[in-house]
Each structure stands twice: as structure tokens, then as C-alpha cells.
Amino acid sequence: MISHDGTGPKAHLGVCVLSDSSSKIFNKHKILPKRRSGEGYGEATMGPIVIVLIILVVLVFIALIKTIQVIPQASAAIVERFGRYTRTLNAGLNIVVPFIDTIRNRIDLREQVVPFPPQPVITQDNLVVNIDTVIYYQVTDARAATYEVASYIQAIEQLTVTTLRNIIGGMDLERTLTSREEINAALRGVLDEATGKWGIRVNRVELKAIEPPTSIQDSMEKQMRADRDKRAAILTAEGIRQSQILTAEGEKQSAILRAEGEAKAAALKAEGEAQAIRTVFESIHAGDPDQKLLSYQYLQMLPKIAEGDANKLWIVPSEIGDALKGLSGAIGNFGPMTGGSGGPGTVPAPASGMERREKPSITD
């Protein structure tokens, strides 16, 4: 019950006191407080919208990634649409249809180097050699390299092995070891012709190593050692021979130069002596010597004429008598001046003409 007079203990608090029957009626009819219009609907629809927006943003981002394709330089990409080849993407920025166009393969267009493991090959003289090969190739057609052959690397390797066996089978071991350029040219021709339809160009083929059997290697080393020893002996002998020839040539040139020097020295000496004689002769004639001086010079030359143990015979010229006469006359003139005459200082005049005297021999 509600107090109408407001004098009840709870009237001043503004609290409505309901009876048990009134509360039951209130709960039965679910009387709730009123809300603002649209408030509950907005809160219920905001969650799904946000989720849908997030999904759309993710899908757009993925679509952009799949739409824009950046291909590096010297590369190419094969594009397929529903499993069928459509086009080839070149280097740069490319646009494709997302979720419809797919990139199957990216191919490097630069020159590639592929070494192959050693392959046993039989030569014409039935010797097994192991040959290592290196292939330098370049992809020229990305579409053909993708669709014309399943694995072009494996195809090139097998083709190289079979071609190498055909070429080496027609050569002996010695020719195989010394004909690398010929083998390389033959391999390159066959491989370039066969790989052209695959979009591959073989630029070079090199034989990295040719390994004969161990016994053959030992025999070759012995032969090479013997050849080196032979060449060393020949070179040593040639060196000694050349050295002796050069020594003889040097001695010959030295003797010739020495003889020429001696001849020139003798000529210069003779010319000097002749010049001295001419100078003396001219001086004597210019001085006009008398008989006394000449006689004195003759006497000074006599001991030199008699020098030497081997001189058994010497000749006195006839002019010596005239010289002695002049000298004796000079002494005679000197004698009277001193008061003596015909003393022991007088010298007898020898006979005129040539006198031949023998030098006494000395016996042992």
C-alpha cells in the first residue's frame, strides 16, 4: 500500500512501496524502462561491418601484390591463364590479372656455367679415360626453355656425355690429350644444333680435365722424364760447344787485335826511329862536323859492335882508317904542344879498305 498523506516513514525519500501482488503484475507484463530510439540496433551492427572492412582491405592488398609483378634485369617470367601460356614478362614493372594469371617459372637470361662430373670414355686404343666438362650456355627463349624440354640442364648433360663418347671413340689417347680445341669445337657444334629448339645457345664447351689410367700416367711420366733428361743433355752439350766456339772466337779476335796492335806499334816505332835518324842526320849536316868528331863517334861504336857471345865475326868499315888517321893527327898536333913527340900516345894508322877480323872463340 502507498501512503497518500506522505506521513509514512519512507514518504520523504520518494520510494514507492509495492505490494506483493503489484510486483507480480510488474514482472508478468515485463515493464522495462524506455530506451532511446536506434541505440540497440547500432551497437548490434557495428561488429560485423568492421570485420567485413578488414577482410576487404586484406583482399585488396593481396590483389595488389598479385597484380603488380616486378621482374629483375636479365630475367623473364612465364605467365599462364587457367593453365595455358599467355605471355612472357620482361624486365621491369608488369601488370597481371590477380587470381587468374599465374607465374609458372622465372628464368635467368644471363650466361650460365654448369660443370659436369667426370665421365668414363673409351678411346680408339681401348683405354678408359675420365673427362670433366664445363658448359657455358644462355637461355634465349624462355617459352621454349619451359615448354619444349622438361629439364634442359639434364638434357644438356646427357647430350654432352653421348657426344663426347662418339668423338673420343674415334681418337687414340695421344690425340685425345693433344686435341682439346678440336674436341671442344665438335662438342659445341653438336650441342648448339641440338639445343636450338629448346631456346638454349651453347657458347663454349671446355674439357676441364682428361685423366688417363694410373699405369698410363706412370709410363707417361717416365717418358717425359727421359725426354727432359735428353733435352737437358743436349742443351748442356750445345752450351759447352757454343762456349768453346765463343772462346776460340774471342782468342782469335784477341790475337788479331794484338797482332794489329804490335804491327801498329812497330810501325810507329820504326817511324819514330826514322824520324829520329832524319833529325840527327839533318842536325849533323846542319852542324857541319869535322873529321875529329866523326872519328871519336866511330871509336865509341866499336865496343857495341863487339858485344854478344855469339858474335864470332865482325867487320870493321874502311872509313874507320880515315877516322883513325884524323884522330892520330889530332893527337900528334896535341903532342908538340905538350913537348913530346911520338910518344906512347901515338896511334898507328891502319890500312885503308875493309879489314876482316875474327873474334877469338871461347872454348868451354
Rounded CA-CA distance 188/204 in Å is 6
pLDDT of residue 59: 86
Closest by CA position to 118, among listed 205, 228, 209: 209
pLDDT of residue 42: 52
Q: How open is the CA angle 43-49-55, to the nearest 5 degrees?
A: 150
CB-facing half-sphere around the CA of 189: CA atoms within 13 A: 7
Cell digits of residue 51? 570485420
pLDDT in tens, 87-137: 999 999 998 888 888 888 899 999 999 999 898 999 988 888 999 999 999
Closest by CA position to 177, among listed 226, 224, 135, 116: 224
pLDDT of residue 353: 39
User: In the chain, which residues have pLDDT < 70?
Assistant: 1-45, 287-295, 298, 302, 305-364
Cell digits of residue 73? 634485369
Beta strands, E only, 162-243: 200-211
pLDDT of residue 109: 93
Q: Which helix (H) or strand (E) holds 221?
A: helix 214-287
Q: What values do phi and psi take at 102, rounded to 5?
A: -125, 145
pTM for the model stands at 0.48
Cα 67 to chain centroid, rounded: 53
Non-local (6+) Cβ contacts of 355 within 8 A are: 316, 318
Q: Which domains does the chain carry?
A: 112-212 (3.30.479.30), 289-358 (no CATH)
Q: Could you tell me whether strands 355-358 and 111-122 are parallel, antiparallel, or unpaired per DSSP bridges?
A: unpaired
Rounded CA-CA distance 129/167 in Å is 13
Q: Could you tell me whether strands 313-316 and 355-358 are parallel, antiparallel, or unpaired per DSSP bridges?
A: antiparallel
pLDDT of residue 1: 39
pLDDT of residue 142: 93
pLDDT of residue 13: 37
Instruction: Cite the DSSP H helix spans in 30-128.
Output: 39-67
pLDDT of residue 108: 93
